[in-house]
Amino acid sequence: MKLIYKHDNIAILHSAKNVLALNDIESFVKDEHGSTMSARFGISNMFHELWLTHDQDFEKASTIIENEIENPEPKASWVCVECNEENDGSFDACWNCQNVHASK
Ligand SMILES: [Zn+2]
pLDDT digits (tens, 9 = 90+) for 7-37: 988 899 999 999 999 999 999 998 655 555 5
Separation of 97 CA from ligand 1 center, angstroms?
A: 4
pLDDT digits (tens, 9 = 90+) for 64-103: 999 888 876 677 899 999 999 999 888 889 999 999 986 5
CA 89 to mean position of chain CA atoms: 17
CA 2 to mean position of chain CA atoms: 19
pLDDT of residue 29: 92
Least confident of 30-34, 52-56, 60-64: 30-34
For residue 104, pLDDT beyond 50: no
Per-residue pLDDT, averaged over 37-58, amounts to 77
In the CATH scheme, what architecture does the domain 2-70 have?
A: 2-Layer Sandwich (3.30)
pLDDT of residue 32: 53
Nearest-angstrom CA–CA distance, 96 and 83: 8
Domain ranges in the chain? 2-70, 75-104
pLDDT of residue 28: 95
Separation of 74 CA from ligand 1 center, angstroms?
A: 20
Separation of 64 CA from ligand 1 center, angstroms?
A: 35
State the amino acid at position 31 in one-letter form: D
DSSP of 19-81: HHHHTT--EEEESTT--HHHHHHT---PPEEEEESSGGGHHHHHHHHIIIIISPPPPPPEE-T
Separation of 76 CA from ligand 1 center, angstroms?
A: 16
